[in-house]
Structure formats: C-alpha cells, structure tokens
Amino acid sequence: MSGITKKFGDFTANQNINLTVHRGEVHALLGENGAGKTTLMNVLYGLYKPTEGTIKVNGKPLQVSDPNVAIANGIGMVHQHFMLVDPFTVTENIILGNEPTKTFGVLDLQRAEEEVRQLSQTYGLHVEATAKIQDLSVGSQQRVEILKTLYRGAQILILDEPTAVLTPQEIQELANIIRNLTKAGKSIIIITHKLNEIKQVADYCTIIRRGAHIDTVQVNEVSEDDLAAKMVGREVSFKVAKKQRERGDKVLEIRGLEVEDSRGITAVNGLDLDLYQGEILGIAGIDGNGQKELIEALTGLTKVRSGVVKVRDKEVTNRTPGEMINKHRVAHIPEDRQKRGLIFEFDIAENMVLEKYNVPPFSRWFTLLWDKIYQNADLLVKKFDIRPQDSRVLARALSGGNQQKMIIAREVSNDPELLIAAQPTRGLDVGAIEYVHQSLVEQRDAGKGVLLISFELDEIINVSDRIAVIYEGEIVGILDAEGVDEKSVGLMMAGGSA
C-alpha cells in the first residue's frame, strides 16, 4: 500500500501511509485507539475506498472496491468484533457464503466438516468442527474466524486487535498459530497496541499516530519503551502508582457458591471468597473458568444454584439486578460494554442514569426530570473528561475509551460499596488503560472494595493488592500481589499447583 490517504469529510483518518508486507512475514500495525489503524486495514479489505493512494497485491495494482475483491485476491480479515452466527456450528459458520454442495444444491456438510478439520489440524487451530459458536470461548471463536479466512484461501490475514479478548495461554496459542501460518507462507498483519506481543510475534512494525505514518521498524532492533514513545508521542508509565492499602471491613463474602452456565453445566463450583474495603482483589484465570458466571451471580443477572453471597454482612443471594445496584450498592463495569454496559441509541445523559432513572433527583411521580438528567451528565462529562463534551451525543458515536469512561463515571458516581470491574481495559489503548487503572485505585483509596476480573495477568498483578486464582469454578489460591511470581500464577491458572 502506498500513499494511502482516507478522509471522512474534513477529518483525515489516514494521511499518506505506506505499508509493505512480504510473504511469510508478521507485520504489526501499532497505534493508539483512533490513530487510524483499523481505517487503513478497512481500506485494504475493501470496506472503505481510499481518497488517494494505490494498493498492490503480489506486485499487481488492485482496485479493492469491496471485500469480495479482497477475498478473491487472498486477503482475509478477522475483525475485533466477531462476525459469527451464534446458533450455527463451527463448520456452518466457516462455509457461510461459500457452501459446498452436492447435486441439486444439497449442502455437503460432511465434506465441509472434513475440510474444516483438516485446515484446523494443519495450522494447529484445535476447533471442534461440529460445536456451536454460542458454546465456544472467545478464544475458540477467534480461531473460527481465522479458519474462515483460511477456508476462503487467504494468503494475507489481517487480525484486528486479536489478543484484546484472549487469556495469556490463548495468546500463547495464537502466537503458535501465527508461526504455523507464516511457515506455510502466509503473511499476517496484526493491528494492536500491545507492545509485548509485537516483540513476541512480529517481524516488522509500522507505527501510526493521528493518521500519519510515524515509522516502520524491524522489531528486534527496538525496545518496548521505544515503541511506546513512538506510538504515544511521549514517555508512558506502565506501573500503577499506589499507596499502601488500608484494609477495612469485609465488603463481600462468598461461601460455597455454585452457578450454572447457560447450558446448565456447573461453571462456579463451590467458590469461597472474601473482599475487604480499601483493597483491589484481582481474579486471575483463563477465560471460561467461571468468571462470567461469578460476575453474573454477584450482580443478580443470573440465579445461583446454591451457596451464599453477602454484601456488608447482608445476605444478597439471588437478588434482582435492580436490588443489587440500588439497595446493596454493587456497581459493575461489565465485560462487554457494547452488549451490557451501554445503550448505543441513547445519548450520554440517558446512559448516565441507566440505573437511577427512577429515583430522585432524576424522576418524580414516574416523570423523568430531564433538566436534572442533563445537568448530571454535564457534570460527569466534565469531571471524567469524556469526549466529545456534549451530553446529547449518542453513546454509539463515542470511541471505545470514552465509552468506558462513561461507564466508569456512571458506576463510580453511584457511590458503591463494591465495584466489580470485568475486563475493564479490554480493547483500550495505553492512555485509556492508565486512566481506568487510576480510577480503580482511586476507588480503593476511597475505601471501596474493588473486585477486578481480567484475563490479562499483567493487569491483575499491576493493579491488585491480592490475587485470587480461579480454576474450573473454584478459587485455587490467594496470593499477595506484592512480589508475586508471574510464572507460578500462570501455572495455577492452568490447573497446576504453585
């Protein structure tokens, strides 16, 4: 790609960017959220038409007018948000739009399954061809997306923030998969803002800042700090500054908690846990070990099979979400901010009162007091520096980082006893991550109990005071975060003993 410029009206998303990727190479595209990485890749994939510039594949100039052209020329893309049909099987999803048929157009599912199995084996993807998407972990779903591009004959794979949703182990597996792919002569473009991964898997790295091409470097010649400085344009601190914690009363007590997942299989299996005021308790674990069900049980979103949950010594087992929020003061930064956290078609102000629309001062006699609702949002927008600073903007129009700020603003302004933060930095850039971590620490310093659930071990270790490792629905160990050994936590997460 050379001289790519893409403008949306007056806004220049990409300014004269060059990108060259060779066969069998992993090329990282590094930049903060909104830097224009995804826009550039959407141009390559034919989703956007470039304002200027040319694209060449295998030396031949190519007009990528739509994704079908891209696919036909061996370009495949795995989006950050998966495009899968949940109730369909892996195979059905992979062949969607490209179904093999027997005579008279009868679907040849057997042949397709065989092909999927073979592809999966060749590249070490380990996906069950007949499993339904809705039953798969996020990591497996991503592998299905990769398989889909391979099935369509992709030679160049674009992975948009592939590790944003993965566990450390899954990231490791992905790295292996990427290695297998490049060995087979495929080229990979990874969009990311995680520096350690670039160091781990990429050969070259192109850095984009505010739509402009900053540099292309050979990865083994630069340090992570260099990359960070190029990306942000200033020095960044990776450490979270914390005061000595002051442990207070018990906020949360869980005893013998058992919760089933949506399939009726035991996901949380006799879990015990205590959380105190003024501490951040990090739950480390691989995706799919009961974290989701634990959070849903604590927030009232799902029913508990057995066991007891107490918040500030009051039993709250099987309360409704409304009771958990307003009566027991449990705030929740949800894992999936698009699905759970926000209503995209509501504006900022409406989203800010999602949990409080029916209590004073926002309503009286079943009537909403819009003036108060907008005043509230105006204050929060300023205080939490949410951009654009306009309470009337729809949540949909905000960047991921600002959406997360909105949720944090809302949850923190509820003055909770307990703050549950599930994957709070998922998909955010370095600057926004810093902000989220600071907010969590502020809540802890204000004497709240903070429960942090994350699949990123670095985050858990950096932010938490104590670390509880979850494995197959049980807490298998509780460690002090101070001076903890990353390897031993990783081992416990995988079911080994420390």
Partner 1 sequence: MKFTKSDLKELFIRGPLGLTIFSTILGFSIGAIVLAIAGFNPAEAYWAIIRGIFSKPKYMSYVIIYATPLIITGLSVAFALRTGLFNIGAEGQFIVGAMTAAMAGYYFQLPMIIHVPLCILLAMSAAAVWGGLAGYIKARFGVHEVISTIMLNWIAFYLSNWSLTIKSFGKQGTGKSYMIQETARIDLFGQWKITEAGIDFIRSHKILGDVLKSPVNIGILVALLLAFLVWYILNKTTLGYELRAVGFNPDAAEYGGINVKKSMVTSMAIAGGLAGAAGALQVMGVGHKIAKLAIMEGYGFDGIAVALIGNNTGPGSVFAGLLFGGLKYGGSKIQDAVGAPTEVINIVVGTIILFIAMPKFIQLVLRFKKG
Of 180 and 363, nearer to partner 1 (C-beta) is: 363
Nearer to partner 1 by Cβ, of 17 and 304: the residue is 304
Q: How far is the CB of 318 from partner 1 (least distance, A)?
A: 15
Quote the tokens at residue 412: 């923190």
- Cβ distance to partner 1 smaller for residue 188 or 342: 342
Nearer to partner 1, 311 or 342 (CB): 342
| Nearer to partner 1 (CB atom), residue 218 or residue 357 | 357
Q: Which residues bind partner 1 (CB under 8 A)?
A: 299, 301, 320-326, 332, 334, 339-346, 350, 354-355, 357-358, 363, 366-368, 370, 392
Contact in structure between 475 and 468 (CB atoms under 8 Å): yes
Minimum distance from residue 380 beta carbon to partner 1 (Å) = 16
Closest approach of partner 1 to the CB of residue 451, in Å: 16
- Minimum CB distance to partner 1 smaller for 200 or for 326: 326
* β-bridge mates for residue 159, sequence order: 78, 190
CB of 337 to partner 1, least distance (A): 9
**Closest distance between partner 1 and the C-beta of residue 480, in Å?**
32
CA distance 58 to 254: 59
Q: How far is the CB of 327 from partner 1 (least distance, A)?
A: 10
Smaller CB separation from partner 1, 367 or 497: 367
Q: Identify which of residues 180 and 414 has a Cβ nearer to partner 1 in the complex.
A: 414
Rounded CA separation 130/286 (Å): 23
Residue 358 CA to residue 366 CA, distance in Å, equals 7
> Of 288 and 334, which CB lies nearer to partner 1 in the complex structure?
334
Shortest Å distance, C-beta 418 to partner 1: 15
- Secondary structure string (H, E, C) spanning the chain: CEEEEEEECCEEEEEEECCCCCCCCEEEEECCCCCCHHHHHHHHCCCCCCCEEECEECCEECCCCCHHHHHHCCEEEECCCCCCCCCCEHHHHHHCCCCCECHHHCECHHHHHHHHHHHHHHCCCCCCCCCEHHHCCHHHHHHHHHHHHHHCCCCEEEEECCCCCCCHHHHHHHHHHHHHHHHCCCEEEEEECCHHHHHHHCCEEEEEECCEEEEEEEHHHCCHHHHHHHHHCCCCCCCCCCCCCCCCCEEEEEEEEEEECCCCCEEEEEEEEEEECCEEEEEECCCCCCHHHHHHHHCCCCCCCEEEEEECCEECCCCCHHHHHHCCCEEEECCCHHHHHCCCCCEHHHHHCCCCCCCCCCEECCEECHHHHHHHHHHHHHHCCCCCCCCCCEHHHCCHHHHHHHHHHHHHHCCCCEEEEECCCCCCCHHHHHHHHHHHHHHHHCCCEEEEEECCHHHHHHHCCEEEEEECCEEEEEEECCCCCHHHHHHHHCCCCC
Contact 38, 16 (CB under 8 A): no
User: Residue 45 or residue 362: which is nearer to partner 1 going by CB?
Assistant: 362
CB of 341 vs partner 1, minimal distance in Å: 6
Of 260 and 336, CB closest to partner 1? 336
CB of 432 to partner 1, least distance (A): 21
Structure tokens at 268: 């949380």
Residue 280 vs 325, nearer CB to partner 1 = 325
CB of 129 to partner 1, least distance (A): 26
Would you say 102 or 364 has its CB closer to partner 1?
Answer: 364
CB of 386 to partner 1, least distance (A): 18
490's tokens: 């990783």
Shortest Å distance, C-beta 370 to partner 1? 6
The Cα 473–Cα 254 span in angstroms is 13
Residue 77 to residues 150, 197, 292, 372, 444, Cα–Cα distance (Å):
10, 19, 28, 45, 40
Residue 241 Cβ, how far from partner 1 at the closest point, in Å?
Answer: 31
How far apart are the C-alpha atoms of 254 and 246, rounded to whole Å? 21
